[in-house]
Amino acid sequence: MTEFTLDLNDDQKQVRDWLNGFAKDVMRPAAAEWDEREETPWPVIQEAAKLGIYSLDFYAQQFFDPTGLGIPMAVEELFWGDAGIALSIVGTGLAAVGVLSNGTEEQIGTWIPQMYGDVDDVKVAAFCSSEPDAGSDVGAMRTRAVYDEAKDEWVLNGTKTWATNGGIANVHVVVAVVDAELGSRGHASFIVPPSTPGLSQGQKFKKHGIRASHTAEVVLDGVRVPGHCLLGGKEKLDERLARARERSAAGATSGGERVRNAAMATFEASRPAVGAMAVGTARAAYEEALEYATTREQFGRPIIDNQGIAFQLADMRTRIDAARLLVWRASWMATTGKPFTSAEGSMSKLFASETAKKVTAQAIQILGGNGFTREYPVERMHRDAAIYTIFEGTSEIQRLVIARTLSGMPIR
């Protein structure tokens, strides 16, 4: 087992510095424009693909880093550049994780390359789980998948919402109900291949933050996908459903037992990465505030000479470093196969996301009236940071997961 370390090796440092350069020289100059346009920044994604940043090879290299620090390190640097553009670059990764978490080796090899495309024809992918009436309550999911045995096809019907890259993706990964009586245990994930009839984009959302990232509804109307598009395969699904029915009949799911399903397997794997996103945004806002505080003068001296400002910056940096440590610990545990016995993944996401909201708000306060204008980036960073406590499990859900894990009780 790889030992936990806080020291990046030479290769990791080289990648970090490379990504930091891309974030500084390519992403930051374009950030305000694409935030205003509220459109997918295809030219920036294209540039990332040319450099090898937006690619399956780069993603796999970081994902399989034996220390577990490849993904959080890379994500932090990109989100330090700009959250909206960064989410457009890494959003495909959530769909990829959905396949990695639930798919067979053949499915992984077939579909993940199609999610990224190539340098000459860049593609994106979407993970579709949330619904208008089923966000945190995954048990309320209504999208149905019915098996047509005669044709060996699954028929999907329903509406998904809050899907990053929804409707514009080359490949959609869709979570649907296959056995409604089993609640969240009766879910499965499906690949919807490119240009499949019946899949369409619904409403595109105009958002408070991360506006350079495309977020939309995905409508599934009689979508037929081949049997091999069921992630994990039908035999594995039938075995899992049979075990779930046996447990239900025996009353084994009462009390505090935590059940796993297709969507939760994906979110558990990605929560530390969301924490890394938050750390990147918080760090960017802190650095802006520190620079401003050391150069802005009031009453004949830099404002950082005032304890009211200096102490805020001290707290900001402390929270950021603590958040990074929680993210790195959870990432290392996930990579080395150590179970989250204390909900360490949720802890990292909870603390880092709350840190990003607090730090970006403090940055605006330090910049005063300037911080409230779009002439300075902390205003945008504060808007972007709001999403971290909401998507992939709200802060309230993270606290619920942590409390249930620690107590073993069915806390509601």
pLDDT digits (tens, 9 = 90+) for 284-343: 999 999 999 999 999 999 999 999 999 999 999 999 999 999 999 999 999 999 999 999
What does the pLDDT average to over 347-372? 98
The end-to-end CA distance of the chain, in Å, is: 37
- Angle CA 403–409–412, to nearest 5: 70
pLDDT value of residue 254: 44
pLDDT value of residue 265: 54
Alpha carbon distance 224, 233 (integer Å): 16
**What are the residues facing 158 on neighbouring strands?**
220
Residue 339: partners with Cβ closer than 8 Å, 6 or more residues away: 333
Residue 367 corresponds to which amino acid? Answer: L
How far is CA 6 from its chain centroid?
23
- The percentage of residues in the chain with a pLDDT greater than 70, rounded to a whole number, is 95
SS3 24: helix
CB atoms within 10 A of CB 198: 15
- The percentage of residues in the chain with a pLDDT greater than 90, rounded to a whole number, is 88
Q: Is 235 a catalytic residue?
A: no
Q: Kindly tell me if the per-residue pLDDT of 179 is higher than 70.
A: yes
pLDDT value of residue 278: 98
Count the alpha carbons within 13 Å of 186 in the hemisphere toward its beta carbon. Answer: 18
pLDDT band at 253 (very low <50, low <70, confident <90, very high): very low
pLDDT band at 247 (very low <50, low <70, confident <90, very high): confident
CB 362 within 8 A of CB 309: no
pLDDT band at 11 (very low <50, low <70, confident <90, very high): very high
Of 49-53, 210-214, 408-412, where does mean pLDDT reach its minimum? 408-412
**Residue 195 to residues 76, 180, 191: CA-CA distances in angstroms?**
33, 28, 12
Question: For the segment 65-75, what is each residue's pLDDT rounded down to a tens digit?
Answer: 999 999 999 99
What does the pLDDT average to over 176-187? 93
pLDDT value of residue 269: 64
Instruction: State the chain's mean pLDDT as an integer.
Output: 94
pLDDT value of residue 261: 52
What is the full DSSP assignment across 273-307? HHHHHHHHHHHHHHHHHHHHHHH-EETTEEGGGSH
Q: What is the pTM of this model?
A: 0.93
Count the alpha carbons within 13 Å of 221 in the hemisphere toward its beta carbon. Answer: 8
pLDDT value of residue 263: 57
Residue 271: partners with Cβ closer than 8 Å, 6 or more residues away: 330, 345, 346, 348, 349, 392, 393, 398
Alpha carbon distance 43, 30 (integer Å): 10
What is the full DSSP assignment across 105-159? HHHHHHHHHHHHEETTEE--EEEE--BTTBSS-GGG---EEEEETTTTEEEEEEE
pLDDT value of residue 257: 42
pLDDT band at 259 (very low <50, low <70, confident <90, very high): very low
pLDDT value of residue 262: 55
CB 119 within 8 A of CB 50: yes
What does the pLDDT average to over 127-140? 86
Alpha carbon distance 163, 393 (integer Å): 14
Q: Kindly tell me if the per-residue pLDDT of 173 is higher than 50.
A: yes
Alpha carbon distance 386, 246 (integer Å): 42
pLDDT band at 377 (very low <50, low <70, confident <90, very high): very high
SS3 110: helix
Marked catalytic residue, from 47, 288, 379, 392: 392
CB 98 within 8 A of CB 189: yes
CB 388 within 8 A of CB 281: yes
Q: Kindly tell me if the per-residue pLDDT of 184 is higher than 90.
A: no
Phi, psi of 341 (to 5 degrees): -70, -20
pLDDT value of residue 258: 44
